C-alpha cells in the first residue's frame, strides 16, 4: 500500500470559523497502482453540510449524538442508488498515524434493498472516526501536528466535510478540525 498526500480533493473551500482547518487528505493507492492515461471512473464527492452552510461540514460528535435526526442538507437523499454498489471500502489515513491500519466495508444498501441516506452514511463515517480516535490515542504518532490525545485533537473537534472516491473502489473522508 502507498499513500499520496494531496489537496486536490479539498475543493479549496474556506471555513467560516477562524479556528477550523482541514486535515490533510492522504490518498490511498492500492499496491501496484500506476498513474495512467486512462483513469478509472471515480464517483462525485458526497458533501455533508448543515442547511445553508455549504462546504463547512457537519460535526461528527453531533452525528453520533443525534443520529439520523442530525440536521443535514439533503439528509434523506438516497445515495449510490444507481451504482449497483452494495458496500464501499472506507479507508482512514490520519497524518502521523499512517501505521494504524483502518479499512472497513461500509454497507450502502439496507437489508430491505433501499439505498442508504446521506445522514445514515454520515453516521457510519462518524462512528468509524470515533473508533479510530479511541484506538489511536494510545498509539505513538510519527508527527505531532495532528496528534490524537485528550489534550490535543479529540473526536469532538472533527467535522465531516465530504466523502471522496479517491481511487477505484476506495472512499476517504475529507475532514476539518475546529480547535476552538
pLDDT tens for each residue of 102-126? 999 999 998 889 999 999 999 999 9
Number of domains present in the structure of the chain:
1
- Residue-level pLDDT at 9: 44
Q: State the pLDDT at residue 150.
A: 87
Q: In the predicted model, what is the mean pLDDT of residues 70-76?
A: 98
User: Do the domain assignments include residue 14?
Assistant: yes
pLDDT tops 80 at residue 5: no
Number of Cβ within a 10 Å radius of residue 37:
4
The pLDDT value recorded for residue 102 is 96
Structural domain harbouring 147: 2-33+43-178
- Please return the burial class of 151, using the count of CB atoms within 10 Å of its CB with bins 0-12, 13-18 and 19+: exposed
pTM, two decimals, is 0.88
pLDDT of residue 96: 95
Beta pairing partners, 175: 160
In a domain, 38, yes or no: no
Q: What is the pLDDT of residue 7?
A: 40
Q: Is residue 84 part of a domain?
A: yes
Residue 12 has pLDDT above 70, yes or no: no
CA 39 to chain centre: 22
- Containing H/E element for 124? helix 118-136
- C-alpha dist (Å) from residue 106 to 24, 102, 124, 171: 22, 12, 7, 10
Residue at 113 is within a domain: yes
pLDDT one-digit tens code per residue, 154-177: 999 999 999 999 988 899 999 999
Q: Which of 11-15, 47-51, 76-80 has the lowest mean pLDDT?
A: 11-15
Amino acid at each position: 500500500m502507498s499513500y499520496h498526500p494531496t489537496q486536490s480533493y479539498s475543493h479549496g473551500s474556506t471555513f467560516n470559523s477562524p479556528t477550523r482547518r482541514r486535515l490533510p487528505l492522504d490518498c490511498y493507492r492500492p499496491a501496484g497502482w500506476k498513474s495512467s492515461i486512462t483513469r478509472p471512473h471515480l464517483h462525485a464527492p458526497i458533501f455533508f453540510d448543515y442547511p445553508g452552510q455549504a462546504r463547512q461540514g457537519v460535526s461528527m460528535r453531533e452525528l453520533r449524538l443525534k443520529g439520523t435526526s442530525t440536521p443535514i442538507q439533503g439528509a434523506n437523499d438516497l445515495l449510490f442508488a444507481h451504482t449497483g454498489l452494495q458496500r464501499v471500502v472506507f479507508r482512514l489515513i490520519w497524518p502521523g498515524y499512517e501505521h494504524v491500519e483502518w479499512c472497513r466495508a461500509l454497507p450502502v444498501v439496507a437489508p430491505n434493498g433501499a439505498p442508504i441516506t446521506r445522514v445514515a452514511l454520515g453516521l457510519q463515517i462518524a462512528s468509524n472516526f470515533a473508533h479510530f480516535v479511541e484506538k489511536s490515542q494510545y498509539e505513538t504518532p510519527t508527527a505531532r501536528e495532528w496528534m490524537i490525545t485528550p489534550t490535543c485533537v479529540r473526536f469532538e473537534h472533527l467535522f465531516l466535510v465530504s466523502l471522496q472516491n479517491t481511487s477505484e473502489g476506495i472512499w476517504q473522508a475529507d475532514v476539518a478540525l475546529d480547535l476552538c
